[in-house]
Amino acid sequence: MPGVNDLIGGVSPLPRPGGGLLRPRELLENVELITPAFLEERGLRGLLLDLDNTLIPYGSYEDRAEIIAWAAELRRAGIKLYLLSNATARRAQFWLDKLDFVGVGLAGKPLQRSYRRALAAMQLPVSQVGMVGDQLFTDILGGNIAGMYTIMVHPIVNNALPHTHLARRLERLVLKRYGHDWYGKDRRTQMKPEKTL
């Protein structure tokens, strides 16, 4: 009999029961806190990376030397990186050329097709892959459905777009439900432990 995983993509078992598909496994102030040691502690050998507001300010084409250096350091440590962006293919390619790793634009997150393709390209088991992004309803939801280790980072800039504003308010409500005040001073810390069912 088909289970829920078959219906939503069939990549892997759902993340921990009771954890909630909208719950990031970890919250970080920025991606640069992700070091080779951080990944090793968590058994991660590959990362799917969102672009806008995760690696660079939303819509930016300006160089960010520190992010290019950060990505190079991870790759030197043997970490596979893959850009999974909902931006236009052209814009994603512009950044892929600078960042010097592979990936796609128009990923359609949280839909599972691009997550499956990324996993196939990385040739890693899903348990060794993390999804890093700044949005709950695309990056984190899709990563959790895929069964990846999800890491939410604080957005680099606050978008003024009305639909983003609404999404941010909803994100804040969800995160508060998990005992975390996104705009509070303690936002770098890990979530409170889940209740056991």
Q: How far is the CB of 178 from Mg ion (least distance, A)?
A: 20
Q: How far is the CB of 189 from Mg ion (least distance, A)?
A: 22
Q: How far is the CB of 196 from Mg ion (least distance, A)?
A: 32
Residues in contact with Mg ion, shown as a per-residue x/- string from 113 to 142 under the rule CB under 5 A = ---------------------x--------
Size of the site for Mg ion (CB under 5 A): 5
Nearer to Mg ion, 56 or 129 (CB): 56
- Give how far Cα 8 sits from Cα of 107, 126, 194, Å: 16, 15, 24
Query: Please, what is the Cα angle at 56 between 140 and 131, to 5 degrees?
Result: 25
Distance CA 118, CA 83 (A): 9
Alpha helices in the chain (DSSP H): 4-8, 36-41, 65-76, 89-99, 113-122, 141-146, 162-177
Is 52 among the residues that bind Mg ion (CB under 5 A)?
yes
Q: Which of 31, 43, 7, 22 is nearest to 143 (CA)?
A: 22
Nearer to Mg ion, 54 or 114 (CB): 54
Torsion of CA 26, 31, 32, 34, to 10 degrees: 40
Q: Which of 25, 28, 46, 50 binds Mg ion (CB under 5 A)?
A: 50
Q: Which of 45, 47, 49, 53 binds Mg ion (CB under 5 A)?
A: 53
Positions in the binding site for Mg ion (CB under 5 A): 50, 52-54, 134
